[in-house]
Structure 1
């Protein structure tokens, strides 16, 4: 799993899974949309792709927090990967408050390598430098972005937050997952539910 050498310390949380955790009644592969009443400022107006969810906990990647102060070229240089400058670049996001030095690429499932986690039929998550080498060389998946850090929940924690009206869940699609307009993603995701953000204060989460 690739890491930034100057990573900040992050709070402890369940480690990201290395095998798919998709079970009936769980939300892996869907999007979590923060309610306006979200009290944790780290997740205010966030949209998260839930990559794994089971009785053991959950793990997801925040989609709409662009990473400041680091470019794809910079990251390749830190990891000693060629070519720099690359033949192809992908955007970087802050994937969540847990282990901000660990890198993940959320991408279309037309490219995979050993250890890739299949999030859904069309989406995968890869933490190997192989994917960065492929992208830098002009190949790799059709769509994708690199996230530093992730969001993690312990057993039953996410379910409790949904019951407390902290999140809505929304079916994922390529436009929401890989669109470039991060600033409007929260409203776009709510739009799939035909919900006015101004009317959400009493809107119950649904799992």
Structure 2
């Protein structure tokens, strides 16, 4: 069976979905990536790559602003001079937007400090990103139609997985038996 013939059973694009790049996607920004969609609208979509850690921390990007030094991930190829975060939990951070139940995007950085200092949230409840992944209206739908991306509903366990090295493989396996064998495919299809 050819990759382009495999059909994902979950095809409705929506906020909170996970985009899984097909194994041989020829784009270094998204090679074997999993993107958490935080906003989906007719005008376009925004998400964050979950499995592209950097050697940088929030203190490198915003010295002295946050009381805890978080690891930074590459959120995508758009606007690397912007900082974004998602978090899980019941504590409310002002100006945050709920993406899926119990997972939020953005908000007031002072509230991040306060929520950790008060014990309402812990540092592992957060993920910080440099930049984001963005698509114009219709662009993501076209890429999905071209089979560049597969989708599954997002959940906290995947979004906040500690081992980002295995997120892509694990999400591919969740797509079902038609996809599972691709989780272990080599990066270069000519090696197969």
More helix by share: 2
Task: Give TM-score scaled by structure 1 length.
Answer: 0.73
Contact kept? 1:47, 1:63, Cα under 8 Å: yes
Aligned equivalent of 1:166: 148
Q: Which residue of 2 aligns with 1:196?
A: 181
Tell me, in whole angstroms, the C-alpha distance in 1 between the residues paired with 2:168 and 2:94.
Answer: 33
Secondary structure of 1:60 counterpart:
strand
Change (3 A) 1:163 1:108: same
Q: After superposition, what is the alpha-carbon deviation per residue over 1:161-186, rounded to whole angstroms, capped at 9, x for unaligned? A: 00000000012122211011111110
1:114 is paired with a residue whose SS is coil
Task: Give the Cα–Cα distance (whole angstroms) in 1 for the partners of residues 167 and 61 of structure 2.
Answer: 25
The CA distance in 2 between the partners of 1:161 and 1:82, in whole Å, is 37
Structure 2: gaps of 5 or more residues: 1-11, 186-192
The answer to whether the Cα contact below 8 Å between 1:48 and 1:63 also exists between their aligned partners in 2 is yes
Query: Alpha carbon RMSD of aligned pairs, Å?
Result: 2.3
The alignment's TM-score, normalised by the length of structure 2, stands at 0.78
2:135 aligned residue: 153
Residues 131 and 45 of structure 1: CA distance in aligned 2, closer, same or farther (over 3 Å): farther
1:40 matched residue in structure 2: 27
Which of 159, 168, 173 in structure 2 is aligned with 1:186?
A: 168
Q: Structure 1 residue 57 and structure 2 residue 44: aligned?
A: yes
CA contact (8 A) 2:94 2:107 kept: no
Contact preservation (8 Å) 2:59, 2:66: no
Q: Which runs of 5+ in 1 are unaligned?
A: 1-24, 201-207
Paired residues, what number? 169
Consecutive aligned runs of 4 or more in structure 1 exceeding 6 Å deviation: none
Q: Which residue in 2 is equivalent to 1:4?
A: none
Q: Deviations over 1:32-57 (max 9, x none)?
A: 00001312111000000001112111
- Change in CA separation of 1:117 and 1:135 when aligned onto 2, cut-off 3 Å: same
